[in-house]
Amino acid sequence: MRVSARRVLTGLLILGGISTLTQFLRFCLPCRQPSQGAGEPVTVLVRDGWRVSSDIPLVFVGGVPRSGTTLMRAMLDAHPAVRCGEETRVVPRILGLKLGWAAEKEGVSTKVLDRAVTAFLLQIIAGHGEPAPLLCNKDPFTLKSAKYLAHLFPNSKFLLMLRDGRAAVYSMISRRVTIGGFDLSSYRDCLAKWSRATQAMLTQCTQVGSKRCLAVRYERLVLHPRSTLQTVLKFLGLPWHEGVLHHEEAIGKPGGVSLSKTERSTDQVMRPVNLDALTRWVGHMPPDVMADMDAIAPMLGRLGYDPKANPPNYGQPDPQFLNNTQRLLRGDFKTPVASLHLNGRPLMSMKGSQTER
Amino acid sequence: MRGQKVSMLLGCALLCSASLLYLGLSGIDCPPPDHAHRHTWADAHLGSTNQSQASPIYYGEDTPLIFIGGFPRSGTTLMRAMLDAHNAVRCGEETRVIPRLLAMRATWSRSARERVRLDEAGVTDQVLDSAVRAFLLEVIIGHGEPAARLCNKDPFALKSLSYLARIFPQAKFVLMLRDGRATVHSMISRKVTISGFDLTSYRDCLTKWSRAMEGMYSQCQGAPEGSCLPVRYEHLVLHPEEEMRKLLSFLGLPWDPAVLHHEDLIGKAGGVSLSKVERSTDQVVNPVNTDALSKWVGHIPSDVLREMDDIAPMLARLGYDPLANPPDYTRPDPIIAPNNYTLVRPDSPNQNLHPFIFVFLWTVSFVRETRTDGKSDRKGNMHILVMLEMKNPNAQ
């Protein structure tokens, strides 16, 4: 078939027209700035020679305060491959700040802001303690932002500590642990807030997915430490280490458990894992609150803690750890706080250390 | 034949719309910057560090950042737009998040109790500073195009000027100064909300302006030698070339005539990027002009005018006559020493007399103030004091 010169010319003209139009459009349409390494992981220099990227494996431990979060992180700290360290206090604050910026229309793009938050978090989490193959962070309320953290740190995992709300609330009220938003003069208010917070965190945990978020019950941890920790370590992809069952021996040691003098659970977590705190709340709930329990704190029932049972049957303890509790009740671990030494420094109790929202 | 033509035209139209759609959806990358106009970031950086580096290049505490700030409505946007026009500098729009992070950091270090708790947690000042630095760098770097000199303009970031100077030892600071009356008039007439400022009251705004300026100015003066330059808005718009030459020399940058015509580079790659929501955008698209200099005259309530020096003491200290409406901006008054009106410099022989003269005149003014006829002669006293400050050229 003969292709006429005219047709070829027309075809070329058309192509030329299209390309001119495209070039013209290039100037008319808003052009996108070439992203500078937006896909690369955020990397920060923590200390001389130690660089940390946002794609490192990380574990975030959290939950409503007084749910065994410190115990869990102390047991993990006893594992040679993990370092959690104390509550940073600032991690939840920067997350809260970021939440308030979500509505910002202009200024910086979300991508840049996320990178900036990631860089900040990495510096704090890595910088506040010693290096370790698996870095970990324990600030209770961070699990309210689990989904966001999962997005910032693609290789992060989450441990959500759950506990009978009545026990948690009894602990915060009897020990006067100030927590932002919780009215310590009212069991009703605290239980309702506990329920709401637990629900929020559980929702986040579910959204992150079972491969990356594991909910651990405090009761199960203290009744069956070995099997619970086996599950946890398997979830984290870590080999078993017997030291996690004796975290109290690793306190203040290098590569072990570092405790803060000002945290409210320090005096408890210095002792071996025990059942002392399991049912202490019984008899302390006001009767009107007990009557409305299911309405005040619906999460109790949903998590399987019978709102009408005082206390519910949490289960049978492992015999080998029963010994710890018996020794505790005998007074074996009741060392006067003033003479205790942490990291070579004398421990002085400080009042009113507020757990951050 | 006709059918073929029609189908061909249809085919072209389809092709055109398809490509339009594709381009519109996927977005077009900006054309590469004109190399004659801009240094590429990599060239400039490699040149300055004298070593070959594979990307990514890590920015650290030695990054020579430029921080522009001051009270809002003091010409901060104009200043950053003019610097943006320089081929080696990129400031970009306000980030808005930087001042908030800095404010949060300041509250953490204010409470002694909190400092102890943070220290106990291993979150020492050093760790916090590294974290703030990392945050700031990610924001400033990612916020716009690469450049040899990165710059940030968030007016109230300079409320933490001393802190920024500590965490970025190589940084330079540009503090914009302006007659507070013009600043406040601009804020009120354009309804630019700033938290804590009551836009219905000139008195309130002027008082707060004075307080804010005192804080920022004293930090600028206390900053390491040669790291902070105060720039007067009035002088910038009246003598732009002179001011910009001084500024670029202060920043260690070569002269670039483009800075005098920032309006030509708006929206261009390597030029000035403007924000659609910032309040000064409509003004800064114009070339440098003196329109806004004395717009405030006649708008300030007379009771405020009368008490101007009491309401806003920083006016006099920054060299703006509180009683002149307006002062002659072409003859800039020297800036007065910040912390004390009595200046003592051991090597100058005149200095020993100065405090005594001051005390004498102050007593005189006090006596005059309490005249038996009940009228106070504060105006006269002001002039005495102001004249006295100005007479001393050795004032710091």
User: Cβ separation of B123 and A90 shorter than 8 Å?
Assistant: yes
Catalytic residue from among B93, B94, B234, B243: B94
C-alpha to C-alpha distance for B65 and B154, rounded to whole angstroms: 13
User: Cβ separation of A108 and B100 shorter than 8 Å?
Assistant: no
Q: What predicted TM-score, i.e. pTM, was given to this entire model?
A: 0.78
User: Cβ separation of A29 and B60 shorter than 8 Å?
Assistant: no
User: Cβ separation of B138 and A111 shorter than 8 Å?
Assistant: no
Set of chain B residues whose Cβ sits within 8 Å of the Cβ of A44: 130, 134
User: What's the mean per-residue pLDDT of chain B?
Assistant: 81
The CB density around residue A142, as the number of other CB atoms within 10 Å, is 25
- Is B138 among the catalytic positions? no
User: Cβ separation of A90 and B122 shorter than 8 Å?
Assistant: no
Arithmetic mean of pLDDT, B144-152: 94
CA dihedral B382, B385, B391, B396 (to 10 degrees): -110
Residue A26's pLDDT band (cuts 50, 70, 90): low
Residue A11's pLDDT band (cuts 50, 70, 90): confident
Restricting to B residues 131-170, those with a Cβ less than 8 Å away from any Cβ of A are 131-139, 141-146
Arithmetic mean of pLDDT, A234-245: 96
> Closest Cα partner for A76 from A155, A115, A3, A133?
A133
Set of chain A residues whose Cβ sits within 8 Å of the Cβ of B97: 101, 104, 107-108, 113, 116
Residue A328's pLDDT band (cuts 50, 70, 90): confident
One-letter amino acid of B230: P
Q: Which residue in A14, A26, A108 is closest to B31 by CB distance?
A: A26
How far away is chain B from the Cα of A128, in angstroms, using its nearest Cα?
4
Give percent above pLDDT 90 in chain A.
Answer: 70
Residue B366's pLDDT band (cuts 50, 70, 90): low
Set of chain B residues whose Cβ sits within 8 Å of the Cβ of A45: 58, 60
Q: Which residue in A14, A29, A111 is closest to B23 by CB distance?
A: A29
Query: pLDDT tens, A98-125?
Result: 988 865 555 788 999 999 999 999 999 9
Arithmetic mean of pLDDT, B160-176: 97
C-alpha to C-alpha distance for B327 and B309, rounded to whole angstroms: 14
Q: Note whether A126 and A46 are within 8 A (CB).
A: yes
The C-alpha R_g of chain B, in whole angstroms, comes to 26
What the block records as the tokens of A338 is 């003033």
Arithmetic mean of pLDDT, B275-291: 90
By mean pLDDT, which of B28-32, B123-127, B299-303, B322-326 is the weakest? Answer: B28-32
Query: pLDDT tens, B15-70?
Result: 877 876 776 666 555 554 443 333 333 333 433 443 333 444 568 899 999 999 99
Answer whether B106 touches A (CB < 8 Å).
Answer: no
Arithmetic mean of pLDDT, B238-254: 96
User: Cβ separation of B128 and A124 shorter than 8 Å?
Assistant: yes
Name the more confident of B49 and A272.
Answer: A272
Confidence (pLDDT) at B81: 96
Instruction: Evaluate if residue A48 carries a pLDDT over 50.
Output: yes
- Beta carbons within 8 Å of A157's beta carbon, 6+ residues apart: A57, A58, A59, A60, A212, A213, A214, A235, A236
Residue B277's pLDDT band (cuts 50, 70, 90): confident
Arithmetic mean of pLDDT, A323-347: 59
How far away is chain A from the Cα of B58, in angstroms, using its nearest Cα?
8
Arithmetic mean of pLDDT, B219-239: 96
Arithmetic mean of pLDDT, A338-345: 44
Instruction: Evaluate if residue A347 carries a pLDDT over 50.
Output: no
Q: Note whether A73 and A138 are within 8 A (CB).
A: yes
Task: Quote ipTM for the complex.
Answer: 0.83
Instruction: Evaluate if residue A227 carries a pLDDT over 80.
Output: yes
Confidence (pLDDT) at A350: 39
Residue A4's pLDDT band (cuts 50, 70, 90): confident
Query: pLDDT tens, B333-356?
Result: 666 554 433 333 344 444 444 455
Angle (nearest 5°) at CA B62 between B82 and B228:
45
Instruction: Evaluate if residue A152 carries a pLDDT over 80.
Output: yes
One-letter amino acid of B143: H
Confidence (pLDDT) at A346: 44
